[in-house]
Amino acid sequence: MNINTPVQLNVQSLAHDFLKVAQVAAIAAYPWIGKSNKIQSDGAGTEAMRNQLNFINMSGKVVIGEGEMDEAPMLYIGEELGTGQGPHVDIAVDPVEGTNLMSKGQDNSLTVIAVAARGSLLHAPDMYMQKIAVGPKAKGFINIDASLTENMRSVAKGLGKDVKELTVMIQDRPRHDHLIKQVLDLGASVKLFSDGDVTAAIATAIDEMEADILVGIGGAPEGVISATALKCLGGDFQAKLVPQNKEEFDRCIHMGLSNPEKVLLIDDIVKSEDCFFVATGITDGLLLKGVRKKEDGTMLTHSFVSMGGRTQNYQFIEAYHK
């Protein structure tokens, strides 16, 4: 084999390596729960994540994340990680998804990572993104250019439900008041959340979590991560980047997005089936239990792993760390 030939991506093996990354980052963030210090908590999770990522035999590149090159210690867009040996992969990360929640000791904070074959994940700035997400049974029944009212009627048809039986996940922000009104006008249920829309997106694909649609405007990094998770779970996701000013618009152009405001389908955001998603709970939440410390110092973690390709499965993993 030519030494320049990219190494085949073994999703299952690499997902195991990244599971350890998420676990280590969550444990590092654990001491900062409820300490009202977002910077220190984010820094602790980021530093632990970076150190563990650099042990992995891969040539990894952060294609979207919350850090910029001049904002150390954040994992910045374009940062290269790993030993440089092994598969070439794109990485989208959030070492502490729900930093506000964690700093206040609240639920639903977790560490999240999405990985795919190099060149597969959307390369975009850290900015706002309009999103709509559903699980496998409603795949093909969403249209981000349509109103939420139209989407709800379509999704209800796909799910074989009355529209009044739907539950819609919406971040509790004034910018979403018009969406909440549309849900209530149809007699459906709203499930509001304060931060962390990755969990809310995944909820649409897991029956036990009793959510049918995620809709709203949130961070682009979380959007790419959510799209990867949903691709692995067989769900659907559509998005549009929402530049807030000319500088953000120009940055999109500079990063290769010729039309920054075009509709992005799930296969535009995650172009390969060779992908996976990993999350570890920091505080208790809708998806995962938080980190726990036993009397003997042993740390307990609860993680979620979902892989794309032919497998399309997910696992909940409880682990003990001495």
Task: Please provide the DSSP assignment of 244-308 as one string.
Answer: -SHHHHHHHHHTT-SSTTS-EEHHHHB--S-EEEEEEESS--SS-PPPEE-TTS-EEEEEEEEE-
Q: Which residue has the tokens 């996976």?
A: 276
Residue 50 domain-assigned (yes or no)? yes
- Known binder of ligand: residue 222? yes
Residue 1 domain-assigned (yes or no)? no
Residue 2 domain-assigned (yes or no)? no
Residue 1 pLDDT > 50, yes or no?
no
CA 282 – CA 287 distance, rounded (Å): 11
**CATH number (domain holding residue 236):** 3.40.190.90
- Give 107 or 6, the one with higher predicted confidence: 107
Q: What percent of the chain has pLDDT over 90?
A: 78
Residue 6 domain-assigned (yes or no)? no
Residue 70 pLDDT > 90, yes or no?
no
**CATH number (domain holding residue 25):** 3.30.540.10
Pair (139, 261) in one structural domain: yes
When pLDDT is cut at 50, 70 and 90, the band that residue 8 belongs to is low
CA 1 – CA 33 distance, rounded (Å): 49
Pair (44, 104) in one structural domain: yes
Pair (222, 294) in one structural domain: no
pLDDT digits 0-9 by tens, 196-209: 899 999 999 999 99
Whole-number pLDDT of residue 295: 93
**Coil vs helix vs strand at 316:** strand
- Known binder of ligand: residue 185? no
Residue 69 pLDDT > 60, yes or no?
no
Pair (136, 254) in one structural domain: yes
Residue 149, Cβ density class (10 Å: 0-12 exposed, 13-18 middle, ≥19 buried): middle
Pair (45, 101) in one structural domain: yes
Pair (265, 153) in one structural domain: yes
- Known binder of ligand: residue 94? yes
Residue 280 pLDDT > 60, yes or no?
yes
- Known binder of ligand: residue 284? no
CA 265 – CA 242 distance, rounded (Å): 15
- Known binder of ligand: residue 314? no
Residue 4 domain-assigned (yes or no)? no
Whole-number pLDDT of residue 216: 98
> How many structural domains are present in the chain?
2
Range of the domain at 254: 128-269
Residue 215 domain-assigned (yes or no)? yes
Residue 5 pLDDT > 80, yes or no?
no
**Model pTM?**
0.93
- Known binder of ligand: residue 219? yes
When pLDDT is cut at 50, 70 and 90, the band that residue 99 belongs to is confident
Pair (76, 157) in one structural domain: no
Pair (89, 139) in one structural domain: no
Pair (216, 258) in one structural domain: yes
Whole-number pLDDT of residue 84: 94
Q: What is the mean pLDDT of residues 171-198?
A: 96
Q: What is the mean pLDDT of residues 289-300?
A: 96
- Known binder of ligand: residue 310? no
pLDDT digits 0-9 by tens, 259-270: 988 999 999 999
Residue 244 domain-assigned (yes or no)? yes
| Strand duo 59-64 + 88-97: pairing | parallel
pLDDT digits 0-9 by tens, 141-154: 999 999 999 999 99
pLDDT digits 0-9 by tens, 199-258: 999 999 999 999 999 999 999 999 999 999 999 999 999 999 999 999 999 989 988 888
Pair (254, 290) in one structural domain: no
Domain boundary among 226, 246, 269: 269
Pair (65, 174) in one structural domain: no
Pair (153, 227) in one structural domain: yes
Cis peptide before 95 (omega within 30 of 0): no
Nearest to 59 by CA among 79, 85, 78, 77: 85
When pLDDT is cut at 50, 70 and 90, the band that residue 304 belongs to is very high
Whole-number pLDDT of residue 2: 42
When pLDDT is cut at 50, 70 and 90, the band that residue 77 belongs to is confident
Residue 212 domain-assigned (yes or no)? yes
Q: What percent of the chain has pLDDT over 70?
A: 94
* Measured CA angle at 16 (ends 120, 225), to 5 deg: 40
Domain boundary among 269, 285, 310: 269
